[in-house]
């Protein structure tokens, strides 16, 4: 997810979108991660046979295709476990004037042909030098000079990280971003105006394996996953690439074998996108639904394919209204609720929650202040 008005983004990974094949990454040499008995995919689902080389001296990873249905539900080993040791999240290890030079591992389109716009899953190799926690963001400084400040670099664009602290290769050396290419169309001519396109999102989506990228951060504490109660309820609401941090949460909850975090609560994801081709991580989320029906719920709002009860387009707030009684009861019992995505989603959601609260004879303003006071309310919109 991008937190800049200029570029919109977020993160994607394995298994992805509507792809029906998974790629599996097998490491050689001394890597402590073995996938022989862990059939989860750790690189993106690809249409063609691919070999990704990450620093030839360190790893090579070969793509092996297999269907989601064939994978077992055993969890993946992760390392280094020392990433669990710090009591506080890493913050601003690298600043704009002293950014970290990372490498692009892969860039893959992760939406179908009928999706409006293009969204890419981008894996970045930070070699373990830029650790982060789930729910944090990286800053990206695109190459070139700032047109508003000749001679100065571009401003930093923030993107929510879409992987766990162990990354898509489960070795603590990569991070993933889910980036929607920001394209501007002239309202009068209807034609694309490249001079007004999102600088950073286009740089990221056009990147090639091996390209260098300047990173700052990590930043952010608002969207950190509270883990003091492993049986808590987490209600996650996203539009588009705002699903990025939730992908990290869910991989940590259901995919990775993390010794000190055994999730036994409820994770409930609401995702709003335009159509089926726009769904992000759908195979991955669907697998959690199949393997953990007691602990995961997944509701989609497809605005161009579904109607709400009033006959209008189905947006994420309509889904929230549909389950409002249940959501309010869960909040009353201490559930955490998260919002991530375009800024424009919040007014509609707030209006819906206010209306539902009033129908229940409650004051929404009072309830909201209580949720904030209890640290149950987490919002990051862009």
Last residue of a domain, one of 160, 187, 219: 219
Q: Does 43 show up as a binding residue in the annotation?
A: no
What integer pLDDT is reported at residue 196 of this predicted model?
Answer: 73
Q: Which of 108, 256, 284, 380 is catalytic?
A: 380
Find, among 216, 121, 128, 211, the residue nearest to 170 by Cα: 128
User: According to the annotation, is 241 in a ligand binding site?
Assistant: yes
165 within a domain of the structure (yes/no): yes
- Taking CA atoms, 213 is separated from 54, 100, 103, 124, in Å, by 15, 8, 6, 8
Per the annotation, the verdict on 185 as an active-site residue is no
The answer to whether residue 56 sits within a structural domain is: no
Q: Do 247 and 319 reside in the same domain of the chain?
A: yes
Same structural domain for residues 283 and 372? Answer: yes
Q: Among this protein's residues, is 362 annotated catalytic?
A: no
40: exposed, middle or buried (C-beta count within 10 Å: 0-12, 13-18, 19+)? buried
CATH number for the domain harbouring residue 117? 2.40.30.10
**Is there a binding annotation on residue 303?**
yes
**pLDDT (tens digit per residue) in 321-369:** 999 999 999 999 999 999 999 888 899 999 999 999 999 999 999 999 9
Residue 284: active-site member: no
Give the range of the structural domain holding residue 263, as residue numbers without chain letter. Answer: 233-381
- Catalytic one of 137, 160, 176, 278: 160
User: Which pLDDT does position 1 carry in this prediction?
Assistant: 61
Is 180 annotated in a binding site? The answer is yes
> Is 20 assigned a ligand-binding role in the annotation?
no
Q: Do residues 328 and 358 both lie within one domain? A: yes
**pLDDT tens digits, one per residue of 179-212:** 999 887 767 777 776 767 789 999 999 999 999 9
CA-to-CA distance for 223 and 229, rounded, in angstroms? 16
CA 139, 144, 146, 151 torsion-angle sign = positive
In this structure, are 250 and 366 located in the same domain? yes
The reply to whether 369 sits in an annotated binding site is no
**Could you tell me if residue 34 is inside a domain?**
no
Based on the residue annotation, tell me whether 323 is a catalytic residue of this protein.
no
Question: Are 103 and 235 in contact, with CB atoms under 8 Å apart?
Answer: no
Could you tell me if 307 and 318 are in contact, meaning their C-beta atoms sit under 8 angstroms apart? Answer: no
The CATH number assigned to the domain holding 356 equals 3.40.50.80
In angstroms, the CA 317 to CA 96 distance is 37
163 is catalytic: no
Q: Which two tokens stand for residue 381?
A: 């919109």
58 is in an annotated binding site: no
Give yes or no: residues 205 and 173 share one domain: yes
Q: Rounded CA gap, 9 and 11, in Å?
A: 7
Q: What are phi and psi of 181, to 5 degrees?
A: -65, 120
Q: Are residues 299 and 371 in the same domain?
A: yes
For residues 11 and 161, the answer to whether their CB atoms sit within 8 Å is yes
pLDDT digits (tens, 9 = 90+) for 67-94: 333 344 589 999 999 999 999 999 999 9
The number of folded domains in the chain is 2
- Which one is catalytic: 120, 178, 200, 340? 340
Q: Are residues 256 and 360 in the same domain?
A: yes
Q: Are residues 247 and 147 in the same domain?
A: no
Domain boundary among 155, 186, 219: 219
Report the C-alpha gap between 242 and 316 in whole angstroms: 12
| Residue 324 and residue 210 in one domain | no
3-state SS, residue 64? strand
Residue 60, SS3?
strand
Whether residues 195 and 297 fall in one domain: no
Residue 353 lies in a domain: yes
Flag residues of the chain having pLDDT under 70. 1-73, 186, 193, 195
Model pLDDT, residue 198: 86
Domain-located, residue 186: yes
62 assigned to some structural domain? no
| Residue of 159, 246, 249, 288 marked catalytic | 159
Buried b (16+ CB within 10 A) or exposed e, 180-217: bbbbeeeeeeeeeeeeebbbbbbbbbebeeebebbbbb
Indicate whether 117 and 186 sit together in one domain.
Answer: yes
Asked whether residue 72 is assigned to any structural domain, the reply reads: no
Q: In whole angstroms, give the CA distance from residue 340 to residue 71.
A: 30
Instruction: Judge if 317 and 355 occupy the same domain.
Output: yes
The residue whose two tokens read 């609720």 is 337
pLDDT score for 238 = 96
93 burial type by CB count under 10 A (0-12 exposed, 13-18 middle, 19+ buried)? middle
Long-range Cβ contact pairs of 83-88 (< 8 A, separation 24 or more) = 83/131, 83/165, 83/166, 83/172, 84/258, 84/259, 84/260, 84/261
31 located within any domain: no
Largest CA distance in the chain: 64
Q: Where does a domain end: 184, 219, 254?
A: 219
């Amino acid at each position: 997810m991008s937190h800049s008005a200029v570029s919109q983004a977020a993160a994607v990974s394995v298994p992805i979108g509507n792809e029906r094949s998974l790629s599996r990454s097998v490491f050689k040499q001394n890597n402590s991660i073995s996938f022989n008995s862990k059939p989860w995919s750790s690189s993106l689902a690809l249409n063609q046979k691919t070999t990704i080389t990450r620093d030839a001296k360190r790893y090579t990873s070969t793509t092996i295709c297999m269907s989601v249905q064939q994978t077992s539900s055993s969890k993946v080993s992760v390392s280094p476990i020392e990433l669990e040791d710090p009591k506080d999240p890493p913050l601003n290890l690298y600043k704009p004037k002293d950014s970290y030079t990372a490498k692009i591992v892969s860039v893959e389109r992760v939406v179908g042909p009928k999706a409006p716009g293009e969204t890419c899953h981008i894996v970045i190799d930070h070699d373990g030098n830029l650790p982060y926690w789930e729910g944090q963001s990286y800053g990206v400084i695109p190459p070139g000079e700032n047109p508003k400040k000749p001679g100065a670099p571009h401003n930093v664009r923030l993107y929510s990280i879409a992987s766990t602290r162990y990354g898509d290769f489960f070795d603590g050396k990569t991070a993933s971003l889910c980036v929607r290419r920001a394209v501007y169309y002239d309202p009068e001519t209807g034609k694309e105006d490249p001079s007004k396109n999102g600088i950073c999102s286009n740089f990221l989506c056009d990147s090639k394996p091996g390209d260098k990228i300047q990173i700052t951060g990590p930043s952010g504490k608002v969207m950190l996953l509270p883990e003091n109660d492993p049986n808590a309820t987490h209600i996650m609401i996203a539009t588009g690439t705002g699903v990025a941090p939730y992908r990290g949460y869910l991989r940590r909850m259901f995919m990775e074998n993390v010794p000190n975090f055994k999730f036994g609560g409820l994770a409930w994801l609401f995702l709003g996108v335009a159509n089926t081709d726009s769904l992000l991580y759908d195979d991955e989320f669907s697998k959690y639904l199949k393997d953990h029906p007691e602990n995961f719920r997944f509701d989609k709002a497809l605005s161009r394919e579904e109607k709400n009860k009033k006959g209008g387009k189905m947006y994420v707030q309509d889904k929230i209204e549909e389950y409002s009684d249940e959501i309010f009861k869960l909040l009353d019992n201490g559930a955490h609720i998260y919002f991530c995505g375009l800024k424009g989603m919040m007014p509609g959601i707030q209006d819906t929650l206010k209306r539902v609260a009033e129908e229940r004879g409650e004051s929404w303003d009072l309830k909201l202040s209580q949720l904030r006071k209890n640290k149950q309310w987490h919002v990051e919109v862009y």
